[in-house]
Amino acid sequence: MNRPATTTGMRDIDIARTKLTGALAETWTTPSGFWGALATVDHKIIGRRYIFTAFVFLALGGVLAALMRIQLAQPEARLLGPDRYNQIFTMHGANMMFLFAVPVMEAVAVYLVPLMVGTRNIAFPRLNAFSYWIYLAGGMLLWTAFALDMGPDVGWFAYVPLSGPQYGAGKRADIWAQMITFTELSALAVAVELVVTIFKQRAPGMTLDRIPVFVWAMLVTSFLVIMAMPAIMIASTSLILDRLVGTHFYNPAEGGDVLLWQHLFWFFGHPEVYIIFLPAAGMVSTMIEPFARRPAFGYLGLVMALIATGILSFGLWVHHMFVAGLPRLGDSFFTASSMAIAIPAGIQIFCWIATLWDGRPVFKTPLLFIIGFIVTFVIGGLTGVMVASVPFDTQVHDTYFVVAHFHYVLIGGAVFPLLGTIHYWFPKLTGRMMSETLGRWSFWLIFIGFNATFFPMHILGLEGMPRRIYTYQPDLPWHGLNLFISLSAVILIAGFLLFFVNVIRSARSGEVAPDNPWDAPTLEWATTSPPPSYNFAMIPVVGSLHPLWSERDTLPVADGLRTDRRELIVTTLATAEPQARDASPQNSIWPLWAAIATTIMLIWSIFSPWAVVWGSIPVAVALIGWFWPKGTPEDES
């Protein structure tokens, strides 16, 4: 790199290689202890926390699912009353979408993207810390409310007027709406960080066509987040305004519109599905390479499919409203656009199959999950094509057919790849391998249990069973299948339990992992397992899409970064040519204070509009503290 004459400070080329890692560790490592943990801005620590928290929410959501299945196993069961059941299914949906699926994908990206693009920390690391605390607070708000019998009971979609001021008694719907604000805030923060990291912090030489597909997927996802989340934040904020101060956004008598809510919600809600699915597709494209032992077929096609899906996802929200009474011609347009999304999905499926076709598959657990993903996701995609058809949808909308469809898409399409991802990147996260035997067992249990649980729901839906019912009468012919589903869910739960056991056991006593156990081609495997706090002693220079395959032992590196302060390389957007050395902020406790202040303001604002006025003062104080120059070397321009 060019070395400007005026710079000062200790550079990595000035010290011996052996001393380099020590110096970097001193600069980058998070101090141990309680305050160190609270103040850390290390993307790996935050990413691990994020992933862990998201899986805790997955387990909690699973408990809710189990309760629902016990309730529905027999007709007119009295285990749960309608009030609790409505809270439970709402919590299950809201929890799984807002506290598990979206955050876990972003969490994996927070951990992996900086490693995969070869940089030392994510962009805006303090914002990253803030985002985690806000996410945690939102999750705790929701679950605390549920524990106190004031959990939302209006569905994860919270349609007005049921969730509105007149019919949603108490603060239940407000808690749902404010939980949205928390999770969207954290998601938006991560999205901004990821976009900047991917655009400006890629290792020198990582041109646009050398970016790993997972990173591309996260880039597209981040843009989806940035464009979709404002719609739901507007929607949920105006819902709270309607409920708290009596505005009339959704009141037809005063010129509001009930369907406005549905438009706003689904304008966010449909891209939401792709916010969950695209990272998963990216994971598959990336993981398939070491297990097919060849580059993913059709890199350009895969990336273009991701982008096309992202764009199309904004044009099909109305298919959630096919029976709301919108004009038929408009509906047909949305049929066409909903069907069209099958094309990019198809391109990806065919590319993956072509990759396996031409490769020499290694049947390890991650590949099993990829295969399970393809098998189930194709079903979910095809049922998606079915419900995209207006006349078809009038019979299956709001029935268990749709429940089956979106579980196939979300579990088949996102959780399977995610579980594969955990198995695949576990050695990088922890330095230990996961047990292959337990992994296989959990895969087969989950795969069989999942299909046995959710496939019959298609039939139940066609047989007329609506969604969101807390029970059904014995004279309806649904109890046999419902009992079967509930029993199958036991297998599915066993599979997940085994997965958790595997994770815990392997984290403690798994086989120690080498740096690159899978012989994978991407940059995160170029560093140790787990990576040091500074990620890479020297920033790698990338010459191809698969740097670790093409330059296995001789990965070139860039030098010239300072070691006595946190520095990373900023590169150009398209060609990733080094542009500047930039400081990466020190640890700070202020993001936590800012998150606490924001939490107080947001929760208080459920109860009084004045919270926005008075509550913003501590937020402002926290932000001033956050940005106040602290005199660290990183503050030098």
- Residues in Cβ contact with 2 at an 8 Å cutoff, skipping those fewer than 6 apart: none
- Binding residue count for other proteins, defined by CB under 8 A: 120
Q: Torsions phi, psi of 255, nearest 5?
A: 90, 5
Pairing type for strands 539-540 and 567-571 reads unpaired
State yes or no: residue 480 binds other proteins (CB under 8 A): no
* 3-state class (DSSP) for residue 268: helix
Whether 295 contacts 545, CB under 8 Å: yes
Q: Torsions phi, psi of 152, nearest 5?
A: -60, 145
Whichever of 138 and 449 has its CB closer to other proteins, that residue is 138
Q: How far is the CB of 67 from other proteins (least distance, A)?
A: 16
Residues numbered 572 to 601 that lie near other proteins (CB under 8 A) are: 592, 595-597, 599-600
State yes or no: residue 242 binds other proteins (CB under 8 A): yes
Whichever of 440 and 467 has its CB closer to other proteins, that residue is 467
Q: Which of 575, 574, 619, 577 is nearest to 596 (CA)?
A: 619
Residues numbered 377 to 406 that lie near other proteins (CB under 8 A) are: 378-379, 382-383, 385-386, 388-399
State yes or no: residue 137 binds other proteins (CB under 8 A): yes
Cα atoms in the 13 Å half-sphere on the side-chain side of 347? 16
Whichever of 144 and 579 has its CB closer to other proteins, that residue is 144
Interface stretch with other proteins, choices 74-82, 122-130, 432-440, 564-572 (CB under 8 A): 74-82
- Listed as own residue / partner, the contacts of 62-66 with beta carbons closer than 8 Å and 24 or more positions apart are 62/493, 62/496, 64/88, 64/89, 64/91, 64/92, 64/95, 65/92, 65/489, 66/489, 66/493
- Residues in Cβ contact with 459 at an 8 Å cutoff, skipping those fewer than 6 apart: 481
Whether 411 contacts 376, CB under 8 Å: yes
State yes or no: residue 556 binds other proteins (CB under 8 A): no
Q: How far is the CB of 559 from other proteins (least distance, A)?
A: 37
Contact letters for other proteins, residues 255-284 (x by CB under 8 A)? --xxx-------------------------
| Residue from 6, 33, 475, 480 in contact with other proteins (CB under 8 A) | 475
Residues numbered 297 to 326 that lie near other proteins (CB under 8 A) are: 297-298, 301, 323-325
Q: Torsions phi, psi of 599, nearest 5?
A: -60, -45
Cα atoms in the 13 Å half-sphere on the side-chain side of 573? 3
Q: How far is the CB of 497 from other proteins (least distance, A)?
A: 28
Residues numbered 527 to 546 that lie near other proteins (CB under 8 A) are: none
DSSP letter at 510 equals P
Alpha-carbon distances of 546 from 290, 295, 296, 552, 614, rounded to whole Å? 11, 8, 10, 9, 53
| Residue from 474, 550, 575, 620 in contact with other proteins (CB under 8 A) | 474
Contact letters for other proteins, residues 426-445 (x by CB under 8 A)? --------------------
State yes or no: residue 353 binds other proteins (CB under 8 A): yes
Scanning the structure block, which residue is given the tokens 């599905």? 273
Contact letters for other proteins, residues 142-161 (x by CB under 8 A)? --xx--xxx---xx---x-x
- Joined tokens for residue 227: 């464009």
User: CA 220, CA 5: separation in Å to the nearest integer?
Assistant: 39
Whichever of 9 and 618 has its CB closer to other proteins, that residue is 618
Whichever of 31 and 170 has its CB closer to other proteins, that residue is 170
State yes or no: residue 330 binds other proteins (CB under 8 A): no
| Residue from 11, 48, 467, 505 in contact with other proteins (CB under 8 A) | 467
The DSSP bridge partners found for residue 539 are 558
Cα atoms in the 13 Å half-sphere on the side-chain side of 121? 30
Indicate if the alpha-carbon torsion angle 404, 406, 408, 412 is positive or negative. negative
Whichever of 78 and 508 has its CB closer to other proteins, that residue is 78
State yes or no: residue 347 binds other proteins (CB under 8 A): yes
State yes or no: residue 509 binds other proteins (CB under 8 A): no
Q: How far is the CB of 498 from other proteins (least distance, A)?
A: 24
State yes or no: residue 604 binds other proteins (CB under 8 A): yes
User: CA 491, CA 156: separation in Å to the nearest integer?
Assistant: 26
State yes or no: residue 519 binds other proteins (CB under 8 A): no
State yes or no: residue 466 binds other proteins (CB under 8 A): yes
Q: How far is the CB of 164 from other proteins (least distance, A)?
A: 7
| Residue from 86, 201, 453, 506 in contact with other proteins (CB under 8 A) | 86
Interface stretch with other proteins, choices 218-226, 276-284, 456-464, 484-492 (CB under 8 A): 456-464
Q: How far is the CB of 320 from other proteins (least distance, A)?
A: 12
